[in-house]
Amino acid sequence: MTAIYLASRSPRRRELLSHMRVPHDVLVLAATEDDEPRLPGESPADYVVRTAREKAQRGVVTIRKRGLAVRPVLAADTTVILGDDVLGKPADRDEAAAMLGRLSGTRHEVRTALALAALDGRLHEDVSITTVQFRPLSARDIARYCDSGEPYDKAGAYGIQGLAGIFVERIEGSYTGVMGLPLFETARLLNHVGITLP
Ligand SMILES: Cc1cn([C@H]2C[C@H](O)[C@@H](COP(=O)(O)OP(=O)(O)OP(=O)(O)O)O2)c(=O)[nH]c1=O
Q: How far is the CA of 76 from the centre of ligand 1 (A)?
A: 9
Mutational test site, ligand 1, from 6, 9, 10, 166, max ligand atoms within 8 Å of CB: 10
Q: Are 48 and 76 in contact (CB under 8 A)?
A: no
Q: Which amino acid residue places its CA nearest to atom 5 of ligand 1?
A: 154
pLDDT (tens digit, 0 to 9) for every residue of the chain, 198 residues total?
569 999 999 999 999 999 999 999 999 987 654 568 899 999 999 999 999 999 999 999 999 999 999 999 999 999 999 999 999 999 999 999 999 999 999 999 999 999 999 999 999 999 999 999 999 999 999 999 999 999 999 999 999 999 999 999 999 999 999 999 999 999 999 999 999 998
Q: How far is the CA of 128 from the centre of ligand 1 (A)?
A: 14
Q: What is the ipTM of this complex?
A: 0.98
**Residue 89 confidence (pLDDT):** 95
Neighbours of 100 (CB within 10 A): 25
Out of 3.40.50.170, 3.10.20.30, 1.10.10.10, 3.90.950.10, which CATH number does the structure's domain 4-193 have? 3.90.950.10
Write down the catalytic residue from 25, 34, 35, 77. 77
**Residue 8 confidence (pLDDT):** 96
Strands of 40-147, DSSP E: 73-82, 85-87, 107-117, 123-134
Q: Which amino acid residue places its CA nearest to atom 13 of ligand 1?
A: 77
Tell me how far apart the alpha carbons of residues 68 and 197 are, in angstroms, rounded to a whole number.
26
The full set of domain ranges for the chain reads 4-193
Tell me which residues have their CB closer than 6 angstroms to ligand 1: 8-10, 12-13, 55, 76-78, 80, 89, 110, 153-156, 158-161, 178-180
Q: How far is the CA of 139 from the centre of ligand 1 (A)?
A: 24
**Residue 33 confidence (pLDDT):** 46
The structure's pTM equals 0.96
**Residue 58 confidence (pLDDT):** 95
**Residue 31 confidence (pLDDT):** 64
The residue among 101, 74, 79, 83 whose CA lies nearest residue 190 is 74
> Quick check: is 25 catalytic?
no
Neighbours of 30 (CB within 10 A): 9
Q: Are 100 and 137 in contact (CB under 8 A)?
A: yes
Strands of the chain, DSSP E: 4-6, 24-26, 73-82, 85-87, 107-117, 123-134, 168-172
**Residue 83 confidence (pLDDT):** 95
Q: How far is the CA of 150 from the centre of ligand 1 (A)?
A: 12
**Residue 110 confidence (pLDDT):** 98
**Residue 35 confidence (pLDDT):** 61
Tell me how far apart the alpha carbons of residues 99 and 158 are, in angstroms, rounded to a whole number.
9
